Structure 1
Amino acid sequence: MFEKLSIAAVYPEMLLAVMAIVIAMVDLFVKCPRRTTTYALSLITIGVVAYLEAVAATQGQTVYSFGNMVVSDPMGSWLKCFAALAVMVTLVYGRPYAAERDMLRGGELFTLGLFALLGMFVMISGNNFLVLYLGLELLTLSSYAMVALRRDSAVASEAAMKYFVLGAMASGFLLYGLSMLYGATGSLDISTVFKAVASGQIKHQVLVLGLVFVVCGLAFKFGVVPFHMWIPDVYQGAPTAITLMIGGAPKLAAFAMTIRLLVEGLLPLAVDWQQMLMVLAIASLLIGNLAAVAQTNLKRMLAFSTIAQMGFVLIGLLSGVVNGNTAAAANAYSSSMFYVITYVLTTLATFGIILLLAREGFESEEISDLAGLNQRSPLYAGVMAACMFSLAGVPPLVGFYAKLSVLQALIASGQTGAIVLAVFAVMMSLIGAFYYLRIVKVMYFDAPITATTVSAGADVRVVLSLNGALILILGILPGGLMALCAKAIVSTLGT
């Protein structure tokens, strides 16, 4: 761990910011309706940034910069690398869809995507309350604009307004909580806040009141009950390419922000925030799974599925500290990190198939639209089936190992009620299996409602095939990614 006066810690962010502006200017001179030049420049930029973050992560150094306001550590670097790859895949899947719906009249999709990614990077690297909040606002403001990008769609405009109003409220919660913590501790620096809280000289009631608002703001970003109201409406109303943009990579940034605030800053208050996360996790697993069963709209069903899946992420986060003992922390937080990474991987492939099936004038948003997909395209039906089995937690797919690692961390923590919570989570997963397997049944056993063949560009076919293969490969050989997560979390906790 060391401080650098140089700007080496933020080279990727600087490159991303500069290129986002350059690409926006270059796009003014692009005449191609599919924005091929803008698209290629965006993918190259994101690829270079992902490579830089991967190199930084493998070096294993923790670097503080800008007066401790920014931190570059292995956990942050890996999460930024995976977030960049997720945005890249999103743009590959979403470009044909956007082109058919007149969303590429300008290069806003690519420019806003790059600025959203920059916001995620700032959230992941923030070691200061203000930096974290700036990153969050950059991400959310870009997201609001992207949801409303399809100008002729009243449904998308309505979704953007709901997202904006609820997002502004959640940002207010978070900012109010952070301001209370600042007032109590006298610092915006996360490590200084940790020392102040650990000293025991600050009134516990003031800290807990600020903590409640902070947890509310974080819960909104995860989309967990009772801060889930925006998820089903925004997922359904937003253009599908944008649904993937806001439902995939930002979950990695939300996880990092939670680790920065709750673990690195407020770990002495773990007994308080873990109880809050337990209530949120139980409510999310229950309501998310039960509500998903009743859905006929595929995107809305996946929205409630997301709420339930984030409940598992919270289970990992609440298992780290037992009676002040942090021995189980690395195992718990690394299992949660593994879960959120594999969830994003599966979500990318799931929405990739939905985008692939959509065509001009047809959205492919209903579960019935998948009827007989196996007869039209066995490959894409197989990828979608792998995604559904993975989300349901069926071995040997990666979702099974993700759920297993989180439940193992919960039981290993030895907390009061850990066994009961684990059994409850498994029971909720069984309910979840119903609506996931229903999609598999529709694809393989229902008669197709259209004879239209499924076609896609070479880039989409290659990326989607790799995406589906990774879901299986990481399920059979999860050790590498799990070790990577464990090493990153240990490094972060050690500083």
Structure 2
Amino acid sequence: MIDKLSWISVYPDVVLLVMACVIALADLATRSPRRTTTYVLTLLTLGVVALLQGLYASSDNTIYGFGNMVVSDPMGNWLKCFATLAMMVTLVYGRPYAADRGMLRGGEMFTLSMFALLGMFVMISGNNFLVIYLGLELLTLSSYALVALRRDNATATEAAIKYFVLGAMASGFLLYGLSMLYGATGTLEVGAVFKAINSGQIRHQVLVFGVVFIVAGLAFKLGVVPFHMWIPDVYQGAPTSVTLLIGGAPKLAAFAISIRLLVEGLLPMALDWQQMLAVLSIGSLLIGNLAAIAQTNLKRMLAYSTISQMGFVLLGLLSGVVNGNTLSAANAYSSAMFYMVTYVLTTLASFGIILLLAREGFESEEISDLAGLNQRSPLYAGVMAVCLFSLAGVPPLVGFYAKLSVLQALISSGQALYIVLAVFAVVMSLIGAFYYLRVVKVMYFDAPITATTVSAPADVRAVLSLNGALVLILGIVPGGLMTLCAQAIVRTLGT
């Protein structure tokens, strides 16, 4: 018999699942080519779910349900809330683009997005290896279908196949690593794995072997070197609305399972996996920034930018345990969470501008397509400039504070290696500033290619303006969000 607490722990998830099914059925009766009814119902559902998750997170309660297979805790609930808001923004930005390209002939874009979000929810709240993997598969299978949604587009189909093949390989890595852990500890529960390893009665070699495969699987989902091959191709090949969907909310779920598996389950093995993360972060910062300089395609440049930004997130994750001491863990992991949340916020606005500039039969994917944007639309040029400056880490924008918090976590450890990593990250950020500033130069100082003014539906204009403003406001007053992340991490790790 499943107790009442179990249902309470997944109540928002159940609401999302039921409404996704209802909307899929309601869409069958929709005749509007822009799927207005489906769109409005989806946004209302996501708004209610985000509100529920926010209320759960604010209550600061931790609930274990279904025999400890799922957990509802502050970190998970805030990440679910942010992921839901990110999905809402993605659909607002993506709908005009999708309608112009025949992607709304059915309501698949909305229902698949909701099932992808449900997969993220299951991943974030998973306290059991099988539950985490089921959530991961629900997210990735929905993502494969979304990438291939433009059935008549060869580039999108090719991107979907690449994503599918490499995604299956990464899932195999993760599953193999989890099976090794199960074989060594005899349990699938994350907390029980922690206790089993802490007992010191398990062969270290078997555990390390399992950890290597788990880190490889997580690295693919985060998109870090050397598991980054799919990111530029999928970002460029997928319809831009789907690129935003893949590059936004799922990053929060990937961060959540990294915390669940590496911190909540494998913290006694921190010395082993932190070394792996250090290598991955160095590679990501180096290759991500250097490869981005060579790109002329804007989506591809932002893909390599993502790789370098994820390298920063790994720097936060690897500085939590110093010489077996976990005193700096909350500071390090909360800085990584803050970085991930603010990165997703900035990504939404930057891809929102690309979607806005795209017209029927014109993709606006090349950097040169932004030429003279300031003359054509000062507002949208300003929002794009704010996002690019934030990604480059220019004060007083939120990206600067995110980078500063991660560097502070590294330096406060007092370890020579971590201080060297911090210096390396700063140097790589300076190199990375070049390709961001190049786009700003094109927008403000190059002559416009076309004289057409940029127009946008009222909902897109309002959300985009708010999104750009948040990137600036959270940089000036970051304390509230930083405190929220710190409290969420502290209370989650405390249980």
TM range, smaller chain: over 0.9
One-letter amino acid matched to 1:357: L
| CA distance in structure 2 between the partners assigned to 1:431 and 1:416 by the alignment | 23
Q: Is the 8 A contact 1:4 1:63 kept in 2?
A: no
Q: Is the 8 A contact 1:342 1:398 kept in 2?
A: yes
| CA distance in structure 2 between the partners assigned to 1:345 and 1:275 by the alignment | 29
Q: Give the structure 2 partner of residue 258 of structure 1.
A: 258
Report matched runs for 1:45-194 at 5 Å: 45-194=45-194
| CA distance in structure 1 between the partners assigned to 2:113 and 2:6 by the alignment | 28
Give a deviation string over 1:354-405, Cα, whole Å, max 9, x none: 0000000000000000000000000000000000000000000000000000
Report matched runs for 1:311-460 at 5 Å: 311-460=311-460
- Give secondary structure in 2 for the equivalent of 1:417: helix
- Give secondary structure in 1 for the equivalent of 2:68: coil
- Give secondary structure in 2 for the equivalent of 1:353: helix
Q: Give the structure 2 partner of residue 43 of structure 1.
A: 43
Q: Give the structure 1 partner of residue 278 of structure 2.
A: 278
| CA distance in structure 2 between the partners assigned to 1:102 and 1:6 by the alignment | 42
Asked if 1:299 is matched to 2:299, the reply is: yes
- Give secondary structure in 1 for the equivalent of 2:449: coil
- Give secondary structure in 1 for the equivalent of 2:71: strand
| CA distance in structure 2 between the partners assigned to 1:290 and 1:378 by the alignment | 30
Deviation at 1:4, TM superposition (A): 5.8
Deviation at 1:323, TM superposition (A): 1.1
| CA distance in structure 2 between the partners assigned to 1:6 and 1:253 by the alignment | 21
Q: Is the 8 A contact 2:5 2:63 kept in 1?
A: no
| CA distance in structure 2 between the partners assigned to 1:183 and 1:405 by the alignment | 38
- Deviates most, 409-418 or 458-467: 409-418
Deviation at 1:415, TM superposition (A): 2.4
Asked if 1:468 is matched to 2:465, the reply is: no
- Give secondary structure in 2 for the equivalent of 1:173: helix
| CA distance in structure 1 between the partners assigned to 2:58 and 2:218 by the alignment | 29
- Give secondary structure in 2 for the equivalent of 1:64: strand
One-letter amino acid matched to 1:20: A
- Give secondary structure in 1 for the equivalent of 2:64: strand
Give a deviation string over 1:112-163, Cα, whole Å, max 9, x none: 0000000000000000000000000000000000000001100000000000
Deviation at 1:5, TM superposition (A): 4.2
Q: Is the 8 A contact 1:24 1:111 kept in 2?
A: yes
Ranges in structure 1 where 5+ consecutive residues have no aligned partner: none
- Give secondary structure in 2 for the equivalent of 1:7: helix
Deviation at 1:491, TM superposition (A): 0.3
CA RMSD of aligned residues (A): 0.7
| CA distance in structure 1 between the partners assigned to 2:200 and 2:416 by the alignment | 25
Deviation at 1:318, TM superposition (A): 0.2
Q: Is the 8 A contact 1:4 1:64 kept in 2?
A: no
- Give secondary structure in 1 for the equivalent of 2:202: coil
Q: Is the 8 A contact 1:100 1:360 kept in 2?
A: yes
Give a deviation string over 1:6-30, Cα, whole Å, max 9, x none: 4000001101111111111100000
| CA distance in structure 2 between the partners assigned to 1:257 and 1:333 by the alignment | 13
| CA distance in structure 2 between the partners assigned to 1:131 and 1:198 by the alignment | 23
- TM-score normalized by the length of structure 1: 0.99
Deviation at 1:190, TM superposition (A): 0.5
Give a deviation string over 1:62-108, Cα, whole Å, max 9, x none: 00000000000000000000000000000000000000000000000
- TM-score normalized by the length of structure 2: 0.99
Q: Is the 8 A contact 2:376 2:451 kept in 1?
A: yes
| CA distance in structure 2 between the partners assigned to 1:164 and 1:227 by the alignment | 14
Give a deviation string over 1:283-336, Cα, whole Å, max 9, x none: 000000000000000000000000000000000000000111000000000000
Asked if 1:245 is matched to 2:245, the reply is: yes
Deviation at 1:348, TM superposition (A): 0.1
| CA distance in structure 2 between the partners assigned to 1:274 and 1:412 by the alignment | 16
Deviation at 1:414, TM superposition (A): 1.8
Q: Give the structure 2 partner of residue 24 of structure 1.
A: 24
| CA distance in structure 2 between the partners assigned to 1:6 and 1:80 by the alignment | 17
One-letter amino acid matched to 1:205: Q
Counting aligned pairs with the same residue, the percent is: 81
| CA distance in structure 2 between the partners assigned to 1:67 and 1:420 by the alignment | 44
| CA distance in structure 2 between the partners assigned to 1:57 and 1:422 by the alignment | 32
| CA distance in structure 2 between the partners assigned to 1:151 and 1:376 by the alignment | 33
Deviation at 1:412, TM superposition (A): 0.7
> Which aligned segments of 4 or more residues in structure 1 are displaced greater than 6 angstroms?
none
Deviation at 1:270, TM superposition (A): 0.1
| CA distance in structure 2 between the partners assigned to 1:212 and 1:367 by the alignment | 38
Q: Is the 8 A contact 2:62 2:72 kept in 1?
A: yes
- Give secondary structure in 2 for the equivalent of 1:170: helix
- Give secondary structure in 2 for the equivalent of 1:413: coil
Q: Is the 8 A contact 1:244 1:351 kept in 2?
A: yes
